Amino acid sequence: MRLSLALCRRIRHDFLPVYIKKQWREQGSIMAAQRLRVPQQALADPRIAEVAARAEDTFVSTRYRDTLAREIEIGATPEERAAWEHQLAHRLAQFSGRTEPVPNLPPSLIFEPSRLFCRDIAQVAMLTNTVVHEGAPSAVRSIYEEVASSAAANTQSLLSAVERSVLHAHVWQTDEDKLPKRYNPELLIWKFKAEFGIHPTNVARYLLCNLFRVCQSQSLETHLTPSSDPQTGLPPRWLLRDRLLETSFLWGEEQQRRVQFSQRNDLVLLSPTPTPLFEQPAASLSATEAQIFEAFKARMHLISPLIDLTSTTQYRQDSSDGIRVRLPTFTSLHNARYLCVPTLNFYFKSTKYPYPHLITVNIALPNTWSDFTAPEKDRITVAQRQAIGLMHCYASCIATAKRLYGGDCAQAPLPEPIAVQAVCTDGVFFDFIAFQLNTLATPDWSKDPAPQGPMNVAWVDGDHEMVRKRYPKRSMLRNTKYTDLDMGVFHRLFACYLYGTHASEGEEKTEAIGANSGDAL
156 vs 506, higher pLDDT: 156
Q: What is the DSSP letter of 217?
A: H
Average pLDDT, the chain: 76
Among 50-64, 69-83, 108-122, 221-235, the range with the most confident prediction by mean pLDDT is: 108-122
3-state secondary structure of 79: helix
Please give the tally of structural domains in the chain.
Answer: 1
Q: What is the pLDDT of residue 25?
A: 67
> 278 pLDDT band (50/70/90 cuts)?
very high
Q: Which domain holds residue 136?
A: 109-321+353-503
32 in any annotated domain:
no
In this predicted structure, what is the pLDDT of residue 336? Answer: 38
> Which pLDDT tens digit goes with each residue over 420-449?
999 999 889 999 999 999 988 888 877 766
Contact 431, 389 (CB under 8 A): yes
Between these two residues, 275 and 252, which has the higher pLDDT value? Answer: 275
In 10 A of CB 19, how many CB atoms?
A: 11
The predicted structure's pLDDT at residue 192: 63
Ranges 75-89, 339-353, 381-395, most confident = 381-395
On the question of pLDDT at 281 being above 60, the answer is yes
Name the residue with higher pLDDT: 21 or 247: 247
- Confidence at residue 163, expressed as pLDDT on a 0 to 100 scale: 92
Residue 28 within any structural domain of the chain: no
pLDDT at 407: 79
pLDDT bucket at 345, cuts 50 / 70 / 90? very low
Contacts of 344 (CB under 8 A, 6+ apart): none
Residue 2 lies in a domain: no
pLDDT at 15: 65
Q: Are 99 and 414 in contact (CB under 8 A)?
A: no
Closest to 288 (Cα-Cα) out of 126, 435, 455:
455
Residue 84 resides in a domain: no
Is the pLDDT at 453 greater than 90, yes or no?
A: no
pLDDT tens for each residue of 92-138: 666 555 555 556 778 889 998 888 888 889 899 989 989 899 999 99
pTM score of the predicted model: 0.72
35 domain residue, yes or no: no
pLDDT for the residue 338? 36
Is position 453 within any domain?
Answer: yes
Mean pLDDT of the 45-73 span? 67
Is residue 5 over pLDDT 90? Answer: no
* 438 domain-assigned: yes
The string of pLDDT tens digits covering residues 141-186 is 999 998 888 866 678 889 999 999 999 999 888 888 887 776 665 6
> In this structure, what are the phi and psi dihedrals at residue 415, rounded to the nearest 5 degrees?
-60, -40
Q: Is residue 34 part of a domain?
A: no
b/e 408-431 (16+ beta carbons within 10 angstroms → b)? ebbeeebeebbbbbbbbbbbbbbb
Q: Which residues contact 210 (CB under 8 A, 6 or more apart)?
A: 164, 165, 168, 169
- pLDDT the model gives residue 225: 82
Question: Poorest-confidence range of 7-11, 243-247, 303-307, 433-437?
Answer: 7-11
Residue 372 has pLDDT above 60, yes or no: no
Of the listed ranges 197-206, 337-346, 368-377, the one predicted with least confidence? 337-346
Please give the average per-residue pLDDT across 206-223, as a whole number.
91
Which among 403, 443, 404, 438 is positioned nearest to 419, based on CA atoms? 438
**Percentage of residues of the chain with pLDDT beyond 90:** 23
Q: Is residue 483 predicted with pLDDT exceeding 50?
A: yes
Confidence of residue 328 (pLDDT cuts 50, 70, 90): very low
The more confident residue out of 15 and 441 is 441
- Report, as an integer, the average pLDDT of 303-316: 85
CA dist list (Å): 5 to 8, 170, 265: 5, 12, 32
